[in-house]
Structure 1
Amino acid sequence: MGGNTGVNVGTAALGKLTGAVKELAEEAADKDTVNYRPALDQVQAAALAYALDPTVATSDLYVRYGVFDRIDVGYKYSFGAHSLDAMYQFMGPIGTPEKPGGAAGANYGSIGLQFSTQRAKLPSIPFLNDAERLLGFSARRIDLLVPLVFSHSFGAEEEIGSISYGLAYSHSFLKYGFEPGKIYTGPGSGQTTQKLPSVSGRQSFGALGAFANLKIGYRYAYFLPALAIYYQNYGTYQLLNNKETKLKGVTIIPSIGVQFRIPNTRNR
């Protein structure tokens, strides 16, 4: 079991956030009625980008358990997202630091599948709070992740740690919507003014990334600095007033964590 804290840096979100977009969202959020203008498309694109890949501090807690030889399962809570996964070890010896199955410096390989679901909330910062109230934005996502991991043990059975690296492919399914209650088309008065209808849509997209992490400690407690980098093409999204936007970007996730190991008393 353990936990991680880090920073999720999404270039798609950073690229959509400008001073003009922030000012427009702040100004329009406090009005009773808002006339549609093309600049509102950028506010919607920024909200979507932040829901898909925000630039925020991240943290998670997890627990893992070996259910069979070479197979372990885990649960992770990422403060809003719930994840379940299973890993299969296809390469390397089987054992524990108390009862090693191989010599020091062994190499290991594993592949897994992770399922997670969450309501894609916008970070609690003033601009995004304004955008969420203005646009009536909501989203929910499901993510599937397939990691391929290789590691080199320090000591027998990672007794003093390891270095790990690999590739990961993820596929995400997003359901989103805009329900603007006070955005209108037209000159702002008279019979031609019309409230913009709500928009809802679904989108799926894949991402490919690479990662590396170091595990340093002794038997029961370890520190885990890590770095992951992903490229993601999010696809095309429907916006209000029959407009659309395309999103893509790179995600960089540096993190540091701690891990605690509870030995199986049967292996002592």
Structure 2
Amino acid sequence: MKESILLKAKAASAFLLLLIFAAGCTAPRAVINSGKVTAPGKFKVGVNFGGNIATEPIGQLDDIAKATVDAIAKKDSVYYDDEIETATKALLAYSLDPVGPTFDFYVRYGLAPRVDAGYKYASGVHVFDTQYQFLGPTGTPENPGVGDWYGSIGLQYAGQSSEWVDKLFLDKLQPVLQFTAKRKDITVPLIFSKSFGPEEEKGSIAFGAVYNHTFIEYGFEPGELFKKVGGEVDRVNPLMEENSFGSYGLFANARIGFKYVYLVPAITIYYQDYGNYKLLNNAAYSFSGLTFIPSIGLQASFGRGR
């Protein structure tokens, strides 16, 4: 009996691990910048590898067995029950905070002595941001200013749709549930950093707080999904809703290198109360949890400046 329970637990853990590394199309919310913006006329380019580990979606997916999903998908007529409700909760929770690996590449350009802007492409998600430096010098290692502490505030926009559903085993329920979701994220980091060498010549260490606001539109348009009401059988009505929620986080990152090339490790942690969401058949559910976003990347700088 104990061996059977242990085998089931190992199988569930292995499945979740596979899911985490096989899926993921996540709005990038990791904070990897220092408090010093890119010098005017110069560029920074880089790549990042990481993961989005959210406690609520993992908990919801853990309640679903792949065998159950396969069995439902093979039925000619599906009736709304606890298993269907669990599946809808998992799909929604995952759309609120997709679990999985993250990969992105980006470019930043210095627009003015205290302002830069950037573009990032992250697994199909287009991200635009800008950053304003309100503290510290604005020189370069070749022409340094006075001081080694920096402070800045940023603004980032990202948008994505629910293409990630095709990467989950839950995609077999799409003909039944027809789930769609679109989200937009606005991220505002407040960053402070300490320079290693003049004007971050040898890198920096940074920390701060970050606020993210997510706007989500989601819906279900079930086809062959029915419910029994008394002695009659009715189709389950479609559902389309909108919601939004805030996330509050802390972060730390470092840039380790010399002049032109840096290694960039980072960790960002968010807490969010996702709020209350309507589901099919007049059901509703509330979600909340922590999200951990570790990452590591490489960054290079070039350009003559001005």
Indicate the TM-score class for this superposition, using the shorter chain for normalisation.
over 0.9
Moved more, 108-117 or 32-41: 32-41
Q: TM-score, normalised by structure 2?
A: 0.81
Q: What is the root-mean-square deviation of aligned Cα atoms in Å?
A: 1.8
Separation in 2 of the partners of 1:93 and 1:265?
Answer: 16
**Are 1:23 and 2:67 counterparts?**
yes
1:80/1:119 contact within 8 Å kept: no
Separation in 2 of the partners of 1:51 and 1:121?
Answer: 10
Cα deviations by residue, 1:236-266 (Å, 9 ceiling, x for unpaired):
1111111111111100011100111013254
1:161/1:214 contact within 8 Å kept: yes
Aligned residue type for 1:57: P
Residues 100-249 of structure 1 aligned to structure 2 (within 5 Å): 100-102=144-146, 106-122=148-164, 124-186=166-228, 192-249=232-289
Aligned residue type for 1:185: K
1:219: Cα distance to partner? Answer: 0.9
1:80: Cα distance to partner? Answer: 2.1
Distance change in 2, residues 1:69/1:20 (3 Å): closer
Aligned to 1:49: 93
Separation in 2 of the partners of 1:135 and 1:186?
Answer: 17
Cα deviations by residue, 1:138-161 (Å, 9 ceiling, x for unpaired):
100111111000000001111110
**Are 1:80 and 2:124 counterparts?**
yes
2:64/2:87 contact within 8 Å kept: no
2:217/2:243 contact within 8 Å kept: yes
**Are 1:12 and 2:37 counterparts?**
no
1:21/1:43 contact within 8 Å kept: no
The percent of aligned pairs where both chains have the same amino acid is 46
2:95/2:181 contact within 8 Å kept: yes
- Pick 1 or 2: higher relative contact order, CA cutoff 8 A, min separation 6: 2
1:184: Cα distance to partner? Answer: 0.5
Aligned residue type for 1:135: L
Cα deviations by residue, 1:177-203 (Å, 9 ceiling, x for unpaired):
11111110128xx98211111101000
Aligned residue type for 1:165: F
Separation in 2 of the partners of 1:94 and 1:136?
Answer: 52
Q: TM-score, normalised by structure 1?
A: 0.92
1:100: Cα distance to partner? Answer: 1.2
Separation in 1 of the partners of 2:51 and 2:134?
Answer: 31
3-state DSSP of counterpart to 1:261: strand
3-state DSSP of counterpart to 2:232: coil
Separation in 2 of the partners of 1:154 and 1:126?
Answer: 44
Aligned residue type for 1:264: R
Aligned length: 262
Cα deviations by residue, 1:51-103 (Å, 9 ceiling, x for unpaired):
11122011111111111110001111111211111100000001112221235
1:176: Cα distance to partner? Answer: 0.5
1:122/1:128 contact within 8 Å kept: no
Separation in 1 of the partners of 2:168 and 2:60?
Answer: 16
Unaligned runs of 5+ in 1: none
Relative to its length, the structure with more strand (as a share) is: 1
Aligned residue type for 1:23: A
